[in-house]
Amino acid sequence: MSMEVTENREILDEVGRPVNFGWARNPLFEYNPPILNGIPKTRITEADRYIIFSATHLIVFEIIDGGTLGHVGISIISVKDHRRSTHSIDSILSLGRFELPRCSDKGSIRIREKKSTLDFILMESGARIIKVDYPRFGNHRHLRGEVVLSSPPAAQSIVTVSPWRREKYAFRYFRCSPWFITEGVMQFGTAEIYFTRDNAWGIYDWKREVRPRRDIRYWAAACGIANGRLVGFNVGYGSADSSAGTENAFFLDGVIHKLDQVTFHIPPTDWLEEWKFTSNDKRLEMTFTPNQERKEHRSIFLHSVKCRQMCGTFSGRVILDDGSSLGFWNITGFAERRKTRL
């Protein structure tokens, strides 16, 4: 049964087996990686990802320590002219070298690779700062700038811990916060990309997990303004067992409205055609209009990650927890499928 967790809980027992599952409105689960001594470090994945966007651009920042393969990547996507620039640095056998914090509400991250720098800074106020300086990014253009991500008052997140059937040590600890207000500027070559209050937003995706041998996951998220209110959502499913709590949730001014199962109705022949999303509790119906596609494929030895991500806009209607109906139109976001093989 779906179970909401309302107090702090350890995910792992004394020998590293996951024992507590469910969903929460805040990161109440405690992750203790030293207990995982008996697990091959090549099966542990830790990832932080930020997606910020305005009416003209979408930028993806991600740091992934996949044990076997580490990845630091930035993608700049132009919404209007459908152009995309990507720069990534991959490292073999990362095995914790990025020193990612064990808690999503504590710690900052600093990446230095040759002359390039990327910082994720967590302030005492809860605001998050992204600083980037890449002298040779995409056709040798310079990318540098700083943006500040601030949250609405008393904001909540969707937090889940899920196991895998038949994989007793595998679990996924996941948090998504799709409600950040973004301000700042990025200079890309001779162009300047501005992010201003009420016209730019951000999504924070955080994951710590012990992977199974094979995994597939569908995920979509978006954020924007509807009827003068800040709205956002996170929906997804995959091979993990979500019976203790799905990751599906809608947010109004940062407050969560929990959803049950959500199904992605993907066009079978052309993913750039319109998608449909429905929920089994009849509380969410929406359409997704993609405008461009981003693909990733990273592999080393027997480890492989394939991601197919579509960027676009979402429109639909949701039933909130109080029974009222809220419509939203053309909020910016993405939908993706990610396959992992170990």
Residue 265 lies in a domain: yes
Under the banding of pLDDT at 50, 70 and 90, the label for residue 96 is: confident
How many structural domains is the chain composed of? 1
Phi-psi label, residue 92: left if phi above 0, alpha if psi -120 to 50, beta otherwise: beta
Under the banding of pLDDT at 50, 70 and 90, the label for residue 1 is: low
Say if residues 166 and 90 touch (Cβ distance below 8 Å): no
Residue 2 lies in a domain: no
Mean per-residue pLDDT for 163-185? 95
User: Which is it for strands 84-92 and 109-113: parallel, antiparallel or unpaired?
Assistant: unpaired
What pLDDT does residue 36 have? 87
Question: In the predicted model, is pLDDT for residue 182 greater than 70?
Answer: yes
Residue 130 lies in a domain: yes
Q: How many CB atoms lie within 10 A of CB 285?
A: 14
Mean per-residue pLDDT for 18-44? 91
Structure tokens at 90: 């991959």
**Parent domain of 29:** 9-341
What pLDDT does residue 13 have? 92
What pLDDT does residue 37 have? 80
Under the banding of pLDDT at 50, 70 and 90, the label for residue 275 is: very high
Residue 3 lies in a domain: no
Structure tokens at 285: 């119906």
Question: In the predicted model, is pLDDT for residue 309 greater than 90?
Answer: yes
What pLDDT does residue 253 have? 97
What pLDDT does residue 229 have? 95
User: Which is it for strands 29-30 and 9-10: parallel, antiparallel or unpaired?
Assistant: parallel
Residue 1 lies in a domain: no
CA distance 36 to 14: 9
Under the banding of pLDDT at 50, 70 and 90, the label for residue 18 is: very high
CA distance 178 to 83: 24
Residue 152, φ and ψ in degrees, nearest 5: -70, 160
Residue 164 lies in a domain: yes
What pLDDT does residue 84 have? 87
Contacting residues for 323 by C-beta, under 8 A, at least 6 apart: none
CA distance 44 to 41: 5
CA distance 94 to 97: 5
Residue 150 lies in a domain: yes
Phi-psi label, residue 35: left if phi above 0, alpha if psi -120 to 50, beta otherwise: alpha
**DSSP type of residue 114:** T
pTM of the model: 0.95
Q: What does the pLDDT look like over 114-148, one tens digit per residue?
A: 889 999 999 999 999 999 999 988 777 899 999 99
CA distance 298 to 71: 9
Give percent of the chain with pLDDT exceeding 90: 77
How much of the chain is helix, strand and coil, in % rounded to 5? 5, 65, 35
Mean per-residue pLDDT for 18-37? 93
Residue 250 lies in a domain: yes
Question: In the predicted model, is pLDDT for residue 165 greater than 70?
Answer: yes
Q: H or E stretch including 72?
A: strand 69-78
- For the chain, the average pLDDT equals 93
Mean per-residue pLDDT for 212-220? 93
